[in-house]
Each structure stands twice: as C-alpha cells, then as structure tokens.
C-alpha cells in the first residue's frame, strides 16, 4: 500500500472500529499498564511505577485520537470534493469562448430589462393615474 492508497484509510478505520473502547488510561500507581475503565489490562509496557510514560499516554489516548483524526480527515476530504466541484464550474465559465460569454451577457441584460420593464408598463401607469384626485393631483 502507498500513502495515498484509499484502501489504507479503510483498513485503518476498520481496525479502529474493531477495538472496543470505553476509555483507556495508564493504571494509577503502575503507569506501565494501560487499562480500560473497568481496570482490565489493554497493554503492558514492561515498566512500572507512578510516573506517566509518554508511550503510555500515546496508547491510552490512541483510539479516541484515531476517531478524531478519522472524522477530521473525512470532513477535509468532503470539503476538497466540494471545492473541486466548484473549481470545475469556475473552469467551465472561464474557459467559455467569446460567443458563450456574449450569450450569457445578453441573457443577463434581458433578465434585467424584463425586471425593469415590469415597473414601466402601461398597466402600472394606469394604476398611478387612478390615484389622482381631480384638481389636486396624486393621493398622498
């Protein structure tokens, strides 16, 4: 497997799912033993004593850390997919030829003109005319 092999991520996720974990810790007073919350040993590092060991801390937090990393990686991959889709759309627009650009601009002009003409119709003018009070002008 290579570092970019998608099967590797699936295998890591599968291994992480297979490990039951209600929480792991270094055994109080014997930090060389990693145990679950019921006191059952998970790993023995071959040392003992109350001093927390860096390797013990790593092992004790590994499953929770792996879940966090898996979630973050999935979120990042999803965001990358969204950005790649946006980039594809932007590329289509930027790569459009002059005729396509002129057509898009004409469509936009038409939409703007149509929206503006709605307010300039004779119908609107007639409504405005009906609001006039004879001899005074438009209604306040």
Query: Does residue 24 sit in the same domain as residue 89?
Result: yes
Contact 38, 59 (CB under 8 A): no
Domain of 33, in residue numbers = 1-95
The region that residue 36 occupies, defined by phi over 0 for left and psi between -120 and 50 for alpha, beta otherwise, is beta
DSSP state, residue 132: E
- Convert the pLDDT of each residue in 20-71 to its tens digit: 767 888 888 888 898 888 888 888 887 777 777 888 888 888 888 999 999 9
Q: What is the mean pLDDT of residues 4-9?
A: 82
Asked if 20 and 38 count as a contact pair (C-beta separation under 8 A), the reply is: no
Total number of domains in the chain:
2
List C-alpha distances in Å: 4 to 1, 7, 8, 10, 60: 8, 9, 8, 12, 27
Is the domain of 34 the same as that of 70?
yes
50 and 61 inside one domain: yes
Q: Are residues 89 and 78 in the same domain?
A: yes
């Amino acid at each position: 497997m290579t570092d970019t092999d998608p099967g590797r991520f699936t295998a890591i996720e599968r291994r992480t799912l297979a490990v039951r974990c209600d929480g792991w810790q270094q055994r109080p007073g014997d930090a060389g033993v990693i145990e679950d919350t019921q006191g059952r040993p998970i790993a023995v590092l071959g040392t003992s004593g109350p001093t927390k060991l860096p390797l013990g801390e790593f092992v004790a937090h590994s499953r929770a850390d792996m879940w966090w990393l898996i979630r973050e990686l999935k979120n990042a991959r999803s965001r990358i997919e969204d950005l790649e889709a946006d980039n594809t759309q932007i590329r289509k627009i930027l790569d459009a030829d002059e005729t396509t650009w002129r057509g898009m601009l004409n469509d936009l002009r038409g939409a703007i003109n149509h929206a503006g003409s709605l307010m300039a119709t004779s119908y609107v003018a007639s409504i405005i005319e009906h609001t006039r009070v004879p001899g005074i002008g438009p209604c306040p």
